[in-house]
Homo-oligomer: A and B are copies of this chain.
Amino acid sequence: MSAQARGPVRPYGDTTGDGMVQLSFTLPLPHDKVAEGAALQLANKMGMDPALVVHARPIGDGFTFFVVYGRVNHLVDPSTVQVVERDYPLLSPKEVNAAVKTGMHRRLVVVGGCVGTDAHTVGIDAILNIKGFAGEKGLEYYRELKVVNLGAQVAVPELVNRAVAEKADAVLVSQVVTQRDAHLLNTREMSAAFREAFDDASRPLLVVGGPRFDEAMAPDLGVDRIFTRGTTPGEVASYLVHRLVPDPERKAS
């Protein structure tokens, strides 16, 4: 044991390079030797070899739950990992307010909500409400930000109208329900509607967030940025300034 540098690594069970992992799944097969063999086959196809079926339990009469342990031979290479690192400075509320004041000479307008049928507002509220999250106050707390929180289950057209009415600089949307890719569908619908309603010059910045998003999908979903698990209000505020506030030192992107 001993943490590698960033060279290629293997999973670690109890010895460097042993490649050990734990896997569980259900197969739609009654429990018998064939089913156990099928479970092994799946593990092998996933690159586990040797793989051991250490637990098999029938569920009803047509299904079997398996726990498999074994070694994967894949190497993972951290140096090839693409991550969306924070490409903007973290600012304090004070700094955010100052930047907006001097850079925009008006309050920056944020419209937010949960679109579609999603009613999980705790996430967006954590970002927007004064109460905030993880000890940081939410955007409503920032003097120079005007926050319009539409709450849950906002229809996309309604969101667009409010964005127009409020002259929103940024639109913040939360999506928590992911079953059947609801979050992706709703996000695409939302971004399409905004691109339809605005030309690129005037379109508000589109930001979505939720615990199960992949940050790298932003372009694909047609939004400017995705925030995920554990985001704090400060990060969001800093990003908004970075993208929206013209700054003498830095030409706004």
Residues of A within 8 A of B (CB): 1-4, 6, 9, 11-13, 16, 20-30, 33-42, 45-48, 50, 52, 60-63, 72, 74, 76-78, 80-85, 212, 214
Contact = CB atoms under 8 A, between A and B. Distances in A.
A114 B60 CA distance: 38
A3 B34 contact: no
B25 A20 contact: yes
A62 B28 contact: no
Given A3-B30, A27-B76, 5 more contacts: A3-B28, A12-B25, A12-B27, A38-B78, A45-B76
A63 B3 contact: yes
Given A63-B3, A72-B42, A78 B29 contact: yes
B45 A29 contact: no
Nearest to A51: B214
Contact of A42 (B38, B40, B76): B76
Which of A28, A34, A82: most chain B CB closer than 10 A? A28
Contacts of A21: 23-25
B212 A38 contact: no
20 contacts: A3-B62, A11-B27, A12-B25, A12-B63, A16-B28, A21-B25, A22-B25, A25-B72, A33-B84, A34-B78, A34-B83, A37-B81, A37-B82, A37-B83, A38-B78, A40-B81, A41-B77, A46-B48, A47-B47, A52-B214
Most buried by B among A9, A30, A37: A37
A52 B34 CA distance: 30
Given A16-B28, A41-B77, A41-B81, A34 B6 contact: yes
A136 B72 CA distance: 39
A212 B33 CA distance: 15
A172 B12 CA distance: 35
Contacts of A28: 1-4, 9, 12, 16
A123 to B, nearest CB: 16
Contacts of A60: 3
Contacts of A85: 33
B41 A76 contact: yes
